[in-house]
Structure formats: structure tokens, C-alpha cells
Amino acid sequence: MKRRPTSRLDLCFPNVVSVVEKKQQQQKEVHDTKSRQRTFTEGEEVYVRKFNKSGQDSWREAFVEKITGPVSVQVKLSDGRIWRRHVDHVRGGKQGLLKLNNLPGKKE
């Protein structure tokens, strides 16, 4: 026989599989409440992170020109330049502007 026969003693020990599945479901629920939108549509107004050599990041207004991959977009700035950015470095519309104003270390 390939499996171990069950006995009355098996009832004394908890089922580890069900406990792990329950905990994983709880983790997923907490993650889903804190996650943010990471999808953009072509033509959508966004804010993209500009990386400076001085170490201070700034944000520029742009429009999504093309979705180049599952987690990257190509954006067109107001001056015509085209940048490719990961969605972690792109914030959408007015919602993104509100979040940018509340960033730690933002100098007035």
C-alpha cells in the first residue's frame, strides 16, 4: 500500500493543509485591500517619475502612448520626448497627483 492507514490517533493532530490554505487566503485579502491600480490605457494622462543624478526624483506630466509589456508603458511628455517606464514609476491622473503631494521628503 502506498498510503498510511488512518487511525483514531490521527484525529488528535490538526490538518496542516487546511490551516495553511486559510492563512494564505487571509494574506491575499489583506494584500488586495492595500494594492493599487497598475493598469493604464493608451491616451490616459499620467505622472511619470524623472530620475535625476542629484538623487532627487521629480514627477512629470505625460500621456500613455503605448503599452509595451505587461508591466511597462511608453509615455509621451509635453515637450515631445518619449520615455519607457515601469508601471511602478507611473501614477495615474488626479489620483496620482494627490499621492505625489503627500510623499515623504517633498520640499515646498
Report the C-alpha gap between 49 and 3 in whole angstroms: 57
Average pLDDT, the chain: 83
- pTM of model > 0.75: no
pLDDT for 5 equals: 86
At residue 108, does pLDDT exceed 50?
A: no
Cell reading at 101:
503631494
| pLDDT band per the 50, 70, 90 thresholds, residue 76 | very high
Give me the mean pLDDT over the 73-99 stretch.
83
Report the C-alpha gap between 51 and 38 in whole angstroms: 20
At residue 20, does pLDDT exceed 70?
A: yes
Give me the mean pLDDT over the 41-58 stretch.
85
Helical spans, DSSP H, in the chain: 16-34, 93-101
Q: How many CB atoms lie within 10 A of CB 89?
A: 17
| pLDDT band per the 50, 70, 90 thresholds, residue 1 | low
| pLDDT band per the 50, 70, 90 thresholds, residue 65 | very high
Q: Domains in the chain, start-ordered, CATH in brackets? A: 45-101 (2.30.30)
Pairing of strands 45-51, 57-69: antiparallel
